[in-house]
Amino acid sequence: MSRIDLGDITRNNLGQVRVLHKTLFPVEYKDNFYNELLEAGEFAKLAYCNDVCVGTVCCRKEFVDEQVKDKFKIYMMTLGVLDPYRHLGIGTKMVQHILEQAKSSNITQVYLHVQINNTEAVDFYKKNGFDIISTEQDYYKNITPRDAYLLAKNID
């Protein structure tokens, strides 16, 4: 039985977060992306399987409306698990953690983008209660296909 734990992202393990992103995603992230993670608190985590760092989830808190400063939504920028550790419940644990934090933080919605050909990710998010809201043309600039689904889950 695998033990799955989530840990905080800190200055000391930010290098690990960079390595995971380079390995997991076809997009290059700039320094400010990583620096902002240090302020994300419970909305950015590393995932460990038996004490081995195998995944990460990185979110950004946003205002629902610039005029209303007490309602927020969460944009899930990245969520990934290294290939050999997929299908062990690690991704689900990370999503559930984000959804639980959202419920206790005055968050109205969690949303994200997924490349339209990434059927495994789309199925994963649907299984976790997300719905496809729309298709955004040319969302990605440097990868093909460039189109992305916008998926969202409203928080009760």
CA distance 62 to 73: 5
Confirm whether 149 is a catalytic residue: no
**Active-site annotation holder among 34, 113, 139, 140:** 113
44 burial type by CB count under 10 A (0-12 exposed, 13-18 middle, 19+ buried) = buried
Residue 75 among the catalytic residues: yes
> Among candidates 10, 6, 19, 18, which has minimal Cα distance to 40?
10
Q: Which of 64, 45, 48 is nearest to 56 (CA)?
A: 45
Catalytic residue among 75, 111, 139, 140: 75
Burial of 140 (0-12, 13-18, 19+ CB in 10 A): middle
Contact 119, 64 (CB under 8 A): no
Catalytic site residues? 75, 113
